[in-house]
Structure 1
């Protein structure tokens, strides 16, 4: 196994950071250069990243993201955004109508490009011995991020990435077996429930060990609850905020 594959397979999300160790500007520059070297649609480069270090701003954004204290505690918080503002300027420069933001395709393209870039940033940071945790909670109150980060029209925050030096490293959380997620030639729906039952037992045991018996919840119960009630704040906030930024899809 080569070192890159070993690094990828060894990922952990870090939520406790060493306050005495800084992340340098050179490290952040390297992470972002690696992230933005990733593939993107039509070379439109529909991603921008906002680097946040100022403590009061991190504190405010941590609250907006659902009181995620690690945003405030880590030295660097990177906010990955869909960015069609530059594409709008390109359209104006050449006298073209700017129509993509009237279609859902803009959100799909931008979110895909952000995801690819974010994945590369994760690998780059972890290759330096840094710890990370992605923050989807930026979409709980996206208007706060738009306002605090002065995002222009056609720019919208999709995910954050906390970066710092790990203080503790948790055990790796088990993933679904490949039998559920890798399909040969066609999707195999019939195997899914049996695999879920098996995985629920695995996750329940993992959670019980990690929390000293305080939490033995399984995967399916958490997913079921979140997609029934837990996502309400996102549903209430994301669509109005992204449309206010100029994405006028129906």
Structure 2
């Protein structure tokens, strides 16, 4: 197995950073260049990354993302946006209508391109010995990010990425059995219930050990709760802000 695959397979999300150890601009530039080297749909390059170091801004954004204090504590917070503003300018320059933002395809393209770029950034940061944690909570109150960072029309925040020197590195969280997520020739529903039962036991044991016996939640109870009522703030705020930013899909 080569070193790149080992690095990817060793991934952890870090939420405890040295506040007195900086991340250099050279490191951030290398990480963003790696992100922008990712493949993207039709060479549209519909991703923009915004670097935030200002303590006051980080504090406001941390609160908006659900009081995620590591946004404040780590030296750098990167915001990954789907960005069709440049494409709009290209349409104006060439006399074309800008119809993609009226279709759900724009959201699918933008989100996918951000996800691929974000993955590259994570690998690059970890290869430099840095710790990271993605922040999907930016979509809890996306209008705050729009306002604080002056995001124009056709730009929407998809995810953040906290980067810093890791003070502690947690144990790796187990993943679903591979038979659930990797299938051949066709989708098999038969293996899913068995996989969930097996994984629930694994996650319950992991949580029990990680929390010193205070929490033994399994995967299915946690995810089913979140997909029932736990995502309500995202639902209330994300879609209206997307449409306010110019994405008029129905």
Does the alignment reach a TM-score above 0.5?
Answer: yes
Secondary structure of 2:79's partner?
A: strand
Residue number in structure 1 paired with 2:146? 146
Residue number in structure 2 paired with 1:67? 67
Alignment of 1:8-47 (within 5 A): 8-47=8-47
Q: Deviations over 1:55-94 (max 9, x none)?
A: 0100000000000000010000000000000000000001
Shift of 1:19: 1.1
Give the Cα separation in 2 of the matches to 1:139 and 1:34: 24
Give the Cα separation in 2 of the matches to 1:146 and 1:127: 31
Secondary structure of 1:191's partner?
A: helix
CA root-mean-square deviation: 0.4
Give the Cα separation in 1 of the matches to 2:167 and 2:46: 34
Residue ranges of structure 1 left out of the alignment (5+ in a row): none
Q: Deviations over 1:28-75 (max 9, x none)?
A: 000000000000001010000010000010000000000000001000
Give the Cα separation in 2 of the matches to 1:73 and 1:220: 31
Residue number in structure 2 paired with 1:205? 205
Give the Cα separation in 2 of the matches to 1:20 and 1:59: 17
Secondary structure of 1:152's partner?
A: coil
Residue number in structure 2 paired with 1:236? 236
Give the Cα separation in 1 of the matches to 2:170 and 2:66: 22
Give the Cα separation in 2 of the matches to 1:215 and 1:72: 26
Give the Cα separation in 2 of the matches to 1:193 and 1:58: 42
Shift of 1:163: 0.2
Q: Deviations over 1:154-196 (max 9, x none)?
A: 0000000000000000000000011100011000101100110
Q: What is the TM-score of this pair, normalised by structure 2?
A: 1.00
Residue number in structure 2 paired with 1:192? 192
Q: How many residues align?
A: 250
Give the Cα separation in 2 of the matches to 1:101 and 1:191: 38
Q: Which runs of 4+ in 1 moved over 3 A?
A: none
Residue ranges of structure 2 left out of the alignment (5+ in a row): none
Residue number in structure 1 paired with 2:131? 131
